[in-house]
A and B are shown apart, each in its own frame.
Chain A
Amino acid sequence: MSLDKVRVVFLGDTGCGKSSLVNLIANNEVLANSWTTVGCQIEVKLHEYKEDTSHQKQFFIELFDVGGSISHKISRNIFYQQINGIVLVHDLTNRKSQDNLKNWLFEIINKDGKDVLKGTNASADDMDTEQFLGICQLHLQIPILVVGTKNDLIDEKQRKLSKNLAFAQELGAEEIYINSRELRSIQAGSTNAVKLQKFFDKVIERKYFTRDNSTFYDRQRKIAGLQSPLSESNRYFSPFTSPTIVDIDNNNNI
Chain B
Amino acid sequence: MTFFKDTLVILISQVVFFIGGLIFFVKQLFKNYEIKDIKVQVIFSSTFALSLTLFLLIIFEIVGFLDSSSRFFHWRLSLISILVMVVAVIPYYIAFSLISNIRIVSSRYSTPLTIILWLGFFYCFWRIGDKFPLLSVNAQMFSIEQGVSRIGVIGVTVMAILSGFGAVNFPFTNMNYFIHPVTQNDVINTERKLLQTLDMIIAKKKRIALEKKNRQKQQNTTKNSFWGLISSVANKSSMSENIGQLRLEISGLEELARQLFLELTDMKNMQERQKWSSTWQGKYFNFLGLFFSFYCVWKILMCTINIVFDRVGKKDVVTRGIEIAIHWLGFQFDATFWSQHISFFLVGCIVVTSIRGLLITLTKFFYSISSSRSSNIIVLILAQLMGMYFCSSVLLLRMNMPAEYRVIITEVLSGLQFNFFHRWFDVIFLLSALSSIFLLFIIRKPLVMTENSASTSFDHNN
Query: Hey, which chain B residues are within 8 Å of A71, CB to CB?
Result: 265
Of the candidates A45, A93, A100, A225, the one whose C-beta lies within 8 Å of that of B192 is A225
Q: Is the CB of A38 within 8 A of B262?
A: yes
In chain B, positions 397-415 with a C-beta closer than 8 Å to chain A are: none
Of the candidates A78, A91, A254, the one whose C-beta lies within 8 Å of that of B195 is A78
In chain B, positions 192-248 with a C-beta closer than 8 Å to chain A are: 192, 194-196, 198-203, 205-210, 213
In chain A, positions 54-109 with a C-beta closer than 8 Å to chain B are: 60, 62, 70-72, 74-75, 78, 91, 93-97, 100
Q: Is the CB of B34 within 8 A of A96?
A: yes
Knowing A1-B210, A78-B191, say if A39 contacts B372 (CB, 8 Å): no
Is residue B302 within 8 Å, beta carbon to beta carbon, of the partner chain? no
Assembly CA distance A13 to B370 (angstroms): 13
Across chains A and B, the number of contacting residue pairs, with CB separation under 8 Å, is 93
Of the candidates A95, A225, A229, the one whose C-beta lies within 8 Å of that of B34 is A95
Q: Is the CB of A44 within 8 A of B206?
A: yes
Task: For residue B258, give the distance in angstroms from its CB to the closest CB of chain A.
Answer: 5
Is residue A166 within 8 Å, beta carbon to beta carbon, of the partner chain? no
Which single residue of chain B is at the shortest CB-CB distance from A252?
B199
Assembly CA distance A1 to B272 (angstroms): 42
Is residue B257 within 8 Å, beta carbon to beta carbon, of the partner chain? yes
Knowing A39-B258, A72-B265, A74-B272, say if A94 contacts B206 (CB, 8 Å): no
Q: Is the CB of B199 within 8 A of A228?
A: yes
Q: Is the CB of B371 within 8 A of A15?
A: yes
In chain A, positions 10-35 with a C-beta closer than 8 Å to chain B are: 13-15
Query: Hey, which chain B residues are within 8 Å of A70, CB to CB?
Result: 367
| Interface size class, chain B | 35 or more
Q: Using an 8 Å CB-CB cutoff, how does the interface string of B241-278 with A read, 1 for contact, 0 for none?
A: 00000000000001001101110110011001000000
Q: Is the CB of A44 within 8 A of B199?
A: no
Task: For residue B357, give the distance in angstroms from its CB to the closest CB of chain A.
Answer: 21
Assembly CA distance A224 to B371 (angstroms): 39
Task: For residue B214, give the distance in angstroms from its CB to the closest CB of chain A.
Answer: 11
Which of A40, A44, A72 is the most central at the interface, judged by chain B CB atoms within 10 Å of its CB? A44
Assembly CA distance A201 to B371 (angstroms): 35
Query: Hey, which chain B residues are within 8 Å of A188, CB to CB?
Result: none
Q: Is the CB of A224 within 8 A of B188?
A: yes
Q: Using an 8 Å CB-CB cutoff, how does the interface string of A177-192 with B read, 1 for contact, 0 for none?
A: 0000000000000000
Is residue B304 within 8 Å, beta carbon to beta carbon, of the partner chain? no
Query: Hey, which chain B residues are within 8 Å of A230, CB to CB?
Result: 199-200, 203
Is residue A42 within 8 Å, beta carbon to beta carbon, of the partner chain? yes
How many of chain A's residues have a CB under 8 angstroms from any CB in B?
A: 38
Task: For residue B55, give the distance in angstroms from its CB to the closest CB of chain A.
Answer: 32
Q: Is the CB of B372 within 8 A of A15?
A: yes
Knowing A15-B372, A94-B34, say if A223 contacts B265 (CB, 8 Å): no
Query: Hey, which chain B residues are within 8 Å of A45, CB to CB?
Result: 209
Is residue B122 within 8 Å, beta carbon to beta carbon, of the partner chain? no
Assembly CA distance A223 to B201 (angstroms): 19
Q: Is the CB of B32 within 8 A of A78?
A: no
Assembly CA distance A45 to B210 (angstroms): 10
Knowing A44-B206, A94-B34, A254-B203, say if A39 contacts B192 (CB, 8 Å): no
Task: For residue A158, give the distance in angstroms from its CB to the closest CB of chain B.
Answer: 10
Is residue A248 within 8 Å, beta carbon to beta carbon, of the partner chain? no
Assembly CA distance A192 to B136 (angstroms): 71
Is residue B33 within 8 Å, beta carbon to beta carbon, of the partner chain? yes
Of the candidates B200, B213, B372, the one whose C-beta lies within 8 Å of that of A93 is B372
Assembly CA distance A149 to B269 (angstroms): 32
Query: Hey, which chain A residues are within 8 Å of B201, CB to CB?
Result: 42
Assembly CA distance A15 to B196 (angstroms): 28
Q: Is the CB of B257 within 8 A of A94?
A: no
Assembly CA distance A59 to B188 (angstroms): 31
Is residue A247 within 8 Å, beta carbon to beta carbon, of the partner chain? no
Query: Hey, which chain B residues are within 8 Å of A72, CB to CB?
Result: 261, 265
Task: For residue A29, give the distance in angstroms from its CB to the closest CB of chain B.
Answer: 12
Q: Using an 8 Å CB-CB cutoff, how does the interface string of B14-52 with A read, 1 for contact, 0 for none?
A: 000000000000000001111000000000000000000
Q: Is the CB of B372 within 8 A of A44?
A: no
Is residue A46 within 8 Å, beta carbon to beta carbon, of the partner chain? yes
* Chain A interfacial positions (CB closer than 8 Å to B): 1, 3, 13-15, 38-46, 60, 62, 70-72, 74-75, 78, 91, 93-97, 100, 223-226, 228-230, 252, 254
Q: Give 21 A-B contacts (CB < 8 Å), ordered by A residue.
A: A38-B261, A39-B194, A39-B258, A39-B262, A40-B261, A42-B205, A72-B261, A74-B269, A75-B265, A75-B268, A94-B34, A96-B31, A96-B32, A223-B195, A229-B199, A230-B199, A230-B203, A252-B199, A254-B202, A254-B203, A254-B206
